[in-house]
Amino acid sequence: MIKKSWIILLLCLGCSPKPQPAVVKVTLVDSGRSVKFSGLDYAVISEINRDTAAGLWQGLIPVYRMPADTDVKDYQPVQPGKYELKDRAVIFTPDTPFAKNQTYFMRYYRFGSGDDAWDFITGKKKLGHPGHTDLIFK
C-alpha cells in the first residue's frame, strides 16, 4: 500500500506545472536608431545594470547582423553599442546606425529557465545545445 502512494506522489510531482518563460519583445525605437528589449526578468537586468564590468549586456542579450547565409549566423561578430536600462526594458543603440533593409537578431539566453534532468530525459532539451532564442528584427 505504501508503494502505491509513493508512486502516485511521484507522478503528481512530475506533472506539476512549470513556470512559464518570459516573453521577450523586440521593438525599434528612436526612429529606428535603437532597439528596445522588453519582457526580460527585471531582477536580473537591474542587477546587471548595477555591475560596472564591460561586456555584461553583450553576454546576456547580444545583437548581431544577420548574414545572407543563415547557416553561419552563429559565427557573426557581436554588434558593438551601448545598453541602457530604461522603464523596465533594455535599450540598445549600436555604435554605427542600423543599415536600412538589413536584418539583425538578438540572441536571448534563457539562464535559469527551470530546465531539469526530466527535460533531457523527455527530449525537450539536448546536451550541448544552448538554451537561447534568436529574435529577428529589421
The tens digit of pLDDT for each residue in 17-73 reads 555 556 889 999 999 999 999 998 888 888 888 877 767 888 888 999 999 999 999
Domains and CATH numbers, the chain: 21-113+120-137 (2.60.40)
pLDDT value of position 127:
57
The pTM of this model reads: 0.71
The answer for residues whose C-beta is within 8 angstroms of residue 46's C-beta and 6 or more apart is: 85
The answer for residues whose C-beta is within 8 angstroms of residue 135's C-beta and 6 or more apart is: 24, 26, 105, 106, 107, 108
Q: Is the pLDDT of residue 83 over 70?
A: yes
3 contacts 69 by C-beta, under 8 angstroms: no
pLDDT value of position 9:
47
56: nearest Cα among 30, 22, 90? 90
pLDDT value of position 104:
96
* Residue 10 grid coordinates: 511521484
pLDDT value of position 33:
95
pLDDT value of position 35:
96
